[in-house]
Chain A
Amino acid sequence: MNDPIRVLVAKPGLDGHDRGAKVVAQALRNAGMEVIYTGLRQTPEQIVETAVQEDVKVIGLSSLSGAHMQLFPAVVDILRQQGAGDIMVVGGGVIPEDDIPYLKGCGIAEVFTPGTSTKSIAEYIKKQFQSDGFTLSRIDHIGIAVPDLATSLDFYTRILGLNCTAIEEVADQQVKVAFVPLGDSELELLEPTSPDSPVAKFLAAKGPGMHHVAYRVTDLGLALSSLKAQGVRFLDEQPRTGAGGALIAFVHPKASGGVLTELCQRTTAEG
C-alpha cells in the first residue's frame, strides 16, 4: 500500500557504543521500515548529507557520551539550512530527563531514554507517517442545532460577547448557518429551513444541542482513503462542498461512537 518509511540511524560524535543503535535499526527493519545505519563517528554535516542523499523521512540519533546537547540540535539546524527541515529527528541514549525539554525545543521530535522498548519506538515513528495529509490539525468548528437562529445568536453574541461574522444558507442541506468564530475554531449555529432537513430530523429526535464536531485536515481525499482503508464508514463517500466553501465529509456516527464527526479541509493555506 504505502512505501516503507526510510530511516537513517546515525551515531553522531565519537561515541563507540552502538549496541542500542544496531538493535533499534534491526527492530525498525523488522517492523517494515527501510533502515540505513551510518556507522560510528559521524559529524552532523555528514549525517545530514546522508539523510538527504538517501531521501529518508526520519533520522534516529544515538549518543551515550553526553554530547547530545550539542550534536543533536546541530543536526536539526543543518537540516533546516539545507531546506530539509521536514525530515523528522528523534534521539536516544544516556540522556538525563532534564535535557529533554531543551532538545525538544531545538526540534528533536522525541527522545527515547534507556529502557524504552524497540516496539514503542517503531510505533511512534509509524504513527507519525501513518497517512500523509491526514493529520488532524485542530477543531475546525462545532455545529449546534438550534430551532431559531435569532434566539440563539442573542445568547452567543449579546450574553457571551462573541461575534457573528456571517449567516449563510446551504441549499442542499436545507439549513441556515451562523458563523461565530472563537479562537482557532468557530461555532456553527444550524437552523433548518425545511422539515426534511437533516437538522430538522435531529431536532425532532434529540432536541436542540450539540450536533457535530468538525476536525480540520490538510488533505481530505487522503484522509478519506486512509480511514476507509482502516475500515471506517462514511456518510459521504466523496468530499463535498459544505458551508463556508470548505471541502467536507461526514463519518458515519456508528464508526465514531455516536458523535457525528465531520472532516473539513479549508482551501486557504492556513491550518
Chain B
Amino acid sequence: MAKDEQLAANQAEWASKLADKVLPRSPERDTDFTTESGLEVERLYTPLDLASLDYQKDLGFPGDYPFTRGVQPTMYRGRFWTMRQYAGYADAEETNARFRYLLDQGQTGLSVAFDLPTQIGLDSDHQLSRGEVGRVGVAIDSLADMELLFKSIPLDKVSTSMTINAPAVVLLAMYIAVAEKQNVDVKKISGTIQNDILKEYVARGTYIFPPAPSMRLITDTFAYCAENLPDWNPISISGYHIREAGSNAVQEMAFTLADGIAYVEAALKVGLDVDVFAPRLSFFFNAHKNFFEEVAKYRALRRMWAKIMRERFGAKNPKSLMLRFHTQTGGSTLTAQQPDVNVVRVAFQALSAVLGGTQSLHTNSKDEALALPTEESARLALRTQQVIAYETGVTDTVDPLAGSYFVENLTSQLETRAWEYIDKIDQLGGAVAAIETGYMQREIQESAYKYQQDIENIERIVVGVNKFQIVEERHDGLLRVDPNIAEKQVARLQQVKSGRDNRAAASALVKLRSVAGTTENVMPYIIAAVRVYATLGEICGVLRDVYGEYKPTATI
C-alpha cells in the first residue's frame, strides 16, 4: 500500500514537472492518442495501472483457465503455429498445383478458397455464375472436382481448412468422400470448415438460406463431427470479415463472441452436450494495424471465451473453454499504391498474431489490393511467417508481452468494452436478432465510414496513400485467371452429369428432400448424394426448395 502511494506521488511529481518544463518547449505530436478502437492511450503506464490485476485470476498459466496467456502450456516452444496460406483460383487442377507448390515450400496446412458460385451453392453453368467462375477461388461442382483438387495429397497427412459457409455441409461431405476414395481412415482427417453463417449476413454476403434452417445445418455438422470426425473443427467463428467490413477491434471481438454464443445456444437447444461439441469450436480473427491493440485483443478474447463457456454455459471440459484461433492479416489494410510496402505491413500484423498466441496464420501477399497473388508473392508472404518463427526469437517464451503495464491495461480495457457490446446484443435478443434488425450492420457501417473519412481528412495516415505518395509506374506481373476457365469448368460438369448413374443421383436427392424438413441429421444423406456425383447446385437446389432463400434488407 505504502509502496503504491509513494509511486503515485512520484508519478504525479514527474507529470507536473513535464507539464511545467518539458511540454511548453516541446509539445507532443497530438493532443489525443487513441487506438484504432478509440481507446485512449496514456503517455505512460506504470505498476499503478495494474493495481486491480490479479495474476492468478486474470492471467493464470498457459494452458490453464482463463487462458489469457495461451491455450497450450508450452506454446511455440513445442510447435509453431500452422502456416496456412489461403489459396485457390481457376479450376481444381490449377489449384492442386498451387497447393503442392505451397506444401513443397514448407507450408504446413492447406486452406481452400472457393469461387463465389461454389460459396453460394450454384453450379458453374448457372446464369448467376456468369463472370464469377474460378475468379476468387476454385470452382467445385461435384465430387469429381474435389478428387482433382486433392490429387496426390493424402488427406491423413495434411490438415485442410475450407472457407465455405452456407453450403459447408456439402463440401465437408465431398471431403469425406475423397478420403474414402483415398482409402484414408475418415477418423484421421483433420481440418476446419468455416460454416459461420451469422457473419455472412453481417459482413461477407455468401448466405443462401434464412437464419433458422442455416443454424440447423450448422448444428447437424456439430453433431456429425462430434460422433465421426474427432479431429475436425465443424466451425470457425469469424471476426475476420467483420473487421474487413469496417468494424473496429472491440466490435470484432464482441460480434464474434456474440455469434459464438448463438451457435452454442443453438446446439444446446437441439440437445447436444456442451462438452461434446464445444472442444471443436474454433475461431478466426483479423490481424490489423494497431499493433498492441491487436496483441491485447487476442489475449482478451481467450479470457472472455473461457468465462463465457464456464460461467454462462457451465462447460467443464477444459478444452471447451479454450479459444483456439486462426488469424489472417488484414486484407483491407493493403494498398494498391506502392504495393511493396504491404510486405512490411503484413510482417507487423503477423507478428501481432504470433505475440497474441495464434494457432494458425495466413499472411497476405503484397499484390492483393491489385489482383489474386502470384506464386512469387505468395511465397514471400509465407517466408514472412517463417522469418518470425525461425529468426526473431519471439517464439522462445510463452506470451512474452504479459506483464507489460500497457498491454495488460489494454487487454482489460478491450474486455470491458466488448462486454458492453455483448450485454447490448443480449438485450436485443442475441446475435441472430441483432443481425435481423440490422444492428451489427449499422454499427460496422458507421465505423467503416468514419475510418474512410479519417483517411481523407489526413487524421489517419496511410503511408503511400495520403502521405509519402510517389508517381508510380504501372504494376506488371499480376496473376491473370484464364478467361476460358468457365467454359472448361462447364464442360467438365456436363461430362460428370453424363457419365454418372443418373438414377442413383436422382434417388439420393429425393431422399435428401424427404429428410431436409425433419429434425433428422442431413449429413449422411448429403454424403450419400455426393458419392454418386450429385452436384453442389443440385444438392443446394433441394435445400433451397425446402428452406427458402435469405432476402436481406439493404441497410445504408
Contacts and interface: CB of A to CB of B under 8 A. Distances in A.
B467 interface: no
Contact of A65 (B135, B336, B456, B475): B135
Interface string A24-55: 01110000000101111101000000000000
Determine the interface band of chain B, counting residues with CB < 8 A from chain A: 35 or more
B245 interface: yes
Interface stretch (B37-45, B198-206, B487-495, B498-506): B198-206
Given A15-B116, A19-B245, A97-B475, A40 B205 contact: yes
Given A22-B445, A26-B445, A94-B369, A66 B481 contact: yes
A119 interface: yes
B456 A23 contact: no
Nearest to A22: B556
Given A17-B244, A71-B131, A119-B456, 11 more contacts: A13-B116, A13-B131, A14-B132, A15-B205, A22-B449, A22-B556, A27-B452, A38-B554, A39-B552, A40-B205, A66-B371
B289 to A, nearest CB: 16
Contacts of A41: 120, 128, 205
Interface string B326-341: 0000001001110000
Contact of A14 (B117, B336, B552): B117
21 contacts: A14-B120, A15-B132, A17-B204, A17-B205, A18-B205, A22-B445, A22-B556, A23-B448, A23-B449, A25-B556, A26-B445, A26-B556, A37-B554, A40-B205, A65-B132, A66-B371, A113-B336, A114-B370, A115-B369, A117-B456, A119-B456
B445 A71 contact: no
Q: A interface, by DSSP: helix, strand, loop or mixed?
A: loop
Contacts of B200: 16
B25 interface: no
Contacts of B449: 22-23, 26-27
| Chain B binding surface SS class | loop
Given A16-B200, A43-B128, A65-B135, A94 B245 contact: no
A65 B448 CA distance: 20
A18 B132 CA distance: 16
B204 A16 contact: yes
Interface string B82-93: 000000000000
A96 B372 CA distance: 10
A118 B453 CA distance: 8
A13 B478 contact: no
A240 to B, nearest CB: 46
Contacts of A18: 205, 245
Interface of A: 13-19, 22-23, 25-27, 35, 37-41, 43, 65-71, 94, 96-98, 113-115, 117-119
A70 to B, nearest CB: 3
Interface in B320-372: 332, 335-337, 369-372
A41 B246 CA distance: 20
Contact of A96 (B127, B332, B370, B445): B370
Contact of B336 (A35, A37, A114): A114
A19 B204 CA distance: 10
Nearest to A120: B456
